[in-house]
């Protein structure tokens, strides 16, 4: 009885969130200046604001935004703080609202900080969507990205495939307090928590600077030599953990599952240092928001969220993605 009641409460909460988002979308009124601009055929100015533009992963997002800008004839600028800095991101968005941009796509890593500024953008009649990271309660009109909790669950399930149902596990994140990281970690812990003989030691917050992050990885693994499984939550820590495993002759001794498909990660999969990594299709996450805002303003196409999915790359299909990388395709 208690279980069925809990399920009912969860379903009700999900329905309420979806309903509230639908109401927000229906209540949104496009600024007259933007509508007039579209009628005149003038190019829209869209800002795509990411939370960490200094990492290689961001370049794939940027490429997607630029491709959409070229295809649809809009001015789309991919921008944001070079390192995670919520205050700087908020300041940027506030400036964009004041300068009357025609559309905003925001990677929302902190509901507390960013949801109020998103609300101000919506109130100003600026079509505002989120991409890559979607904080709960935001009044954004649509989200383009991965179900992050589910990606964490999938990651943990794959890790269990390789390491079995017992042993010590470390989790690594380059920004453990960010919404995207908390969501993925939640999914990982949810699945691994089903196995009494799996012990999650801790979540290590490495930061994004390469030398500092690698040192954090090294220190954590030197302090825990009996670790048999590692889950990395992002494109910063995933190649670094694979690098450590290779350098220290730990291939096969530590099982490692990560996220995203940077070139080093693909090579680490090929060498066996990383067992698998999950792609969220960052090219689409950059492309789709620009496309959607353009079509909403110019053609009246309703804004609808798109789940960019979870794609597993492991020893069975890594060559396919290495070949795509050599051809210049946007892999990330």
Task: Check residue 136 and give its pLDDT.
Answer: 75
In the predicted structure, residue 14 carries a pLDDT above the cut 80: no
> Which residue has better confidence, 111 or 158?
158
> Region 109-125: what's the mean pLDDT?
95
**What is the rounded distance in angstroms from the CA atom of residue 146 to the CA atom of residue 309?**
5
User: Residue 13: is its pLDDT beyond 70?
Assistant: no
| Per-residue confidence (pLDDT) for residue 274, from 0 to 100 | 98
Ordered by start, the domain boundaries in the chain are 2-146+282-301, 148-279+314-326
The rounded distance, in Å, linking the Cα atoms of 269 and 319 is: 10
**Per-residue confidence (pLDDT) for residue 17, from 0 to 100:** 39
Residue 20 clears pLDDT 90, i.e. is over it: no
Tell me the average pLDDT across 23-32: 77
Cβ-proximal residues to 323 (8 Å cutoff; 6+ apart), any chain: none
Q: How far apart are CA 136 and CA 116, in angstroms?
A: 12
Q: Do domains 2-146+282-301 and 148-279+314-326 have the same CATH topology?
A: yes
Is 206's pLDDT higher than 70? yes
Task: Tell the CATH superfamily of the 148-279+314-326 domain.
Answer: Response regulator (3.40.50.2300)
- Is residue 201 pLDDT above 70, yes or no? yes
3-class DSSP assignment, residue 172: strand
Q: How far apart are the first and last CA of the chain?
A: 45
Percent of the chain with pLDDT over 70: 92
84 burial class (0-12, 13-18, 19+ CB within 10 angstroms)?
Answer: buried
Average pLDDT, integer, range 214-236? 98
Q: What is the pTM of this model?
A: 0.88
What is the pLDDT of the chain when averaged over all its residues? 92
* Alpha carbon of residue 29 to chain centroid: 28
Tell me: pLDDT of 281 over 70. Answer: yes
Q: What is the pLDDT of residues 236-261, one digit of tens each?
A: 999 999 999 999 999 999 999 999 99
What is the pLDDT averaged over residues 154-163?
98
322: pLDDT strictly greater than 60: yes
Name the band, by pLDDT with cuts 50, 70 and 90, for residue 26: low
pLDDT band of residue 25 (cuts 50, 70, 90) is low
CATH code of the domain occupying 2-146+282-301: 3.40.50.2300
């Amino acid at each position: 009885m208690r279980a069925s009641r809990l399920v009912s409460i969860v379903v009700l909460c999900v329905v309420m969130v979806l309903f509230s988002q639908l109401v927000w979308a229906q209540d949104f009124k496009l600024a007259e200046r933007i509508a007039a601009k579209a009628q005149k055929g003038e190019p829209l100015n869209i800002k795509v604001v990411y939370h960490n533009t200094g990492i290689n992963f961001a370049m794939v997002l940027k490429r997607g935004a630029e491709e959409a800008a070229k295809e649809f004839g809009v001015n789309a600028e991919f921008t944001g703080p070079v390192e995670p800095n919520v205050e700087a991101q908020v300041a940027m968005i506030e400036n964009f609202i004041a300068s009357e941009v025609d559309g905003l796509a925001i990677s929302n890593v902190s509901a507390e900080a960013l949801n109020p500024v998103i609300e101000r953008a919506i109130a100003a009649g600026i079509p505002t969507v989120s991409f890559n990271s979607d904080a709960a309660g935001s009044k954004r009109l649509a989200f383009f990205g991965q179900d992050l909790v589910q990606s964490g669950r999938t990651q943990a399930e794959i890790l269990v495939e390789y390491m079995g149902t017992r042993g010590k596990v470390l989790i690594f994140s380059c920004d453990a307090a960010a919404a995207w990281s908390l969501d993925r970690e939640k999914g990982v812990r949810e699945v691994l928590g089903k196995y009494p003989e799996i012990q999650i030691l801790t979540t290590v917050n490495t930061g994004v600077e390469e030398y500092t992050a690698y040192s954090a990885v090294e220190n954590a693994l030197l302090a825990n030599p009996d670790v048999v499984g590692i889950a990395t939550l992002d494109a910063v820590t995933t190649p670094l953990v694979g690098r450590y495993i290779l350098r220290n002759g730990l291939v096969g001794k530590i099982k490692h599952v990560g996220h995203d498909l940077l070139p080093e990660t693909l090579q680490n999969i090929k060498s066996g240092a990383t067992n698998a990594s999950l792609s969220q299709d960052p090219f689409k996450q950059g492309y789709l928001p620009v496309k959607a805002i353009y079509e909403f303003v110019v053609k009246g196409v309703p804004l609808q969220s798109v789940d960019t999915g979870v794609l597993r790359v492991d020893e069975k299909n890594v060559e396919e993605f290495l070949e795509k990388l050599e051809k210049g395709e946007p892999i990330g």
